[in-house]
A and B are shown apart, each in its own frame.
Chain A
Amino acid sequence: MTQIRLTTPLTDADVEKLRIGQQVLISGLIYTGRDAAHKRMVDLIKAGKVNELPFDPKGQIIYYVGPSPTKPGRVVGSCGPTTSYRMDPYAPELYKLGLKASIGKGKRSPEVIEAMKKYKGVYFAAIGGAAALIAKSIKSAKVIAYPDLGAEAVHEFVVEDFPVVVVNDTLGGDLYQEGIKIYAVK
């Protein structure tokens, strides 16, 4: 299977050419966040304090993950994706500010899919549970905000060939629906 390579930050053109089902290898900086971090970030946006966000979402990728603790001598713990729907209430606000992609596992809401169409963003699936393998593509990791949240703190990862699949593209396509249609036995 052909794999596309992308390096962050991403432009509209980078994501507009992606189509559902494509396998992508990501390199560069990515940011992490789960439920609690998202709530804090969106509260800031709603309060008009965009400049206080842990990072500028423009052109960036956010990865929904809460890593396991880092063993001594290692870069990061195991870190596969968490289920994305819990971030659905917050995601449109971030795409609106220029976020180009999110990485997680599981279906997104119609509102998030609509926001991705409108603001030119995509959603990638990482392989849920392949956490020891995914950790191999993370070359450095540091907490940049909300250390009080523990595993849920916002991390900055430097990644190399981080493997994902395009699930929702900028056209509103949804691999979770299309994939099933191809393989369902009637």
Chain B
Amino acid sequence: MYIFNCEQHLAKGGIKIKTINTSVITENVARMCQEANFNLGEDVMEAFKKGYEQEVSATGKDIMQILIKNAEIAREEQVPMCQDCGYAVIFLELGQDVRIEGGDLYEAITEGVRRGYTDGYLRKSIVSHPLERKNTGDNTPPVIHTKIVPGENLKITLAPKGGGSENMSQIKMMKPADGVEGVKDFVIEVAKNAGPNPCPPVILGVGIGGTMEKAALLAKEALLREIGSENEDPEMAKLEEELLEKVNNLGIGPQGLGGRTFALAVHIKTYAAHIASLPVAVNINCHAARHKEVVL
């Protein structure tokens, strides 16, 4: 095994290496936990307004208005928009020319979550063991997904995830022969089955391809995309539009009380698949579609 010394590398290749201290990471994560829970994104607000205009049910319209008002109160008074302040899900994009100093990177993030949820009066919803179910008291640990990328930046995205909508998410290992029609049927089935439980209006993240866990991750990553942005793949953009219309035509509506605004958006992400498989995951995000990012 060869171990390259960082400084030698620098001297020979002239590669720039950025150093980031873990205390900066902790501070940023703590701040983002609060900001994400207090300030709903502009894209979601815009989607609420559009939903309000388009909704055909009177109760549905009232609900859309209530959600706009709720987000405004949360922002003005700096209180959580929803009492379920979520599981702290974190996506890291770590540039390969970044050096972390001052301690353990994951521990620094965990400390950020701990401080953010404690200082921000956010609800602690995590139990340490799925069967013993004792609350950890500080909303840790987070779930961290790390990607190593070229460059000298560290991008941290925090997406607190509510339990109600997570519980209605599903994954299915389909047959390649099921094709696009099979995928559509599955997405519609998931929406129907979810009904009022995930606090509609929702955003559907659909991951197609990869392996089982890859499909689930794609679905979650798809939820991070800005609402109203176009899918880079024109075929998938079309499929997103078709699925949005189909799930809204189920009549579930806001809060499942009847109407045409079950989903604000459908976002699809794909990846190469095995010749024998067609994994499809649908991750549902409620209207409290919270995320914040920072580039260090």
Contact = CB atoms under 8 A, between A and B. Distances in A.
A178 B257 CA distance: 8
A172 to B, nearest CB: 17
A14 to B, nearest CB: 21
Contacts of A150: 124, 135
Contacts of A163: 66
Contacts of B123: 66-69, 77, 151
B197 A107 contact: yes
Interface string A51-79: 00000000000000111111100100111
Given A77-B121, A80-B83, A136 B258 contact: no
A78 B82 contact: yes
B48 to A, nearest CB: 11
Given A69-B123, A183-B258, A132 B250 contact: no
B-side binding surface: helix, strand, loop or mixed?
Answer: loop
Contact of B195 (A67, A130, A176): A176
Interface residues of B, number: 48
A127 interface: yes
Given A68-B123, A129-B288, A184-B250, A106 B70 contact: no
A105 B198 CA distance: 9
A33 interface: no
A116 to B, nearest CB: 17
B103 to A, nearest CB: 28
Interface size bracket, A side: 35 or more
A131 B83 contact: yes
A143 to B, nearest CB: 15
A184 B251 contact: yes
Given A129-B286, A185-B251, A68 B80 contact: yes
A30 interface: no
A132 B39 CA distance: 12
A183 B122 CA distance: 37
Contact of B257 (A74, A133, A151, A175): A175
Contact of A179 (B122, B253, B288): B253
A184 B59 contact: no
Contacts of A74: 79
Contacts of A178: 258
**B59, B196, B199, B287: most-surrounded residue (chain A CB, <10 A):** B196
A13 interface: no
Interface string B163-197: 01001000000000000000000000000000111
Contacts of A184: 249-251
Contact of A77 (B56, B83, B197, B255): B83
Nearest to B75: A132
A49 B182 CA distance: 53
A183 B74 contact: no
Contacts of A65: 83
B57 interface: yes
Interface in B129-171: 135, 162, 164, 167
Contact of B258 (A85, A128, A179): A179
A122 B36 CA distance: 36
Nearest to A135: B79
Contact of A128 (B79, B135, B164, B260): B164
Nearest to B78: A71
Contacts of B82: 78, 80, 129, 131-132
B85 interface: yes
Contacts of A165: 59, 255, 257
Closest 10 pairs (CB-CB, A-B) = A179-B258, A184-B251, A183-B251, A128-B199, A185-B249, A106-B197, A68-B123, A133-B70, A132-B74, A130-B70
6 contacts: A66-B123, A78-B79, A82-B164, A106-B195, A180-B251, A183-B258
Given A183-B252, A184-B249, 12 more contacts: A21-B257, A68-B83, A69-B122, A77-B80, A106-B195, A107-B196, A107-B256, A125-B256, A130-B70, A132-B81, A133-B69, A165-B59
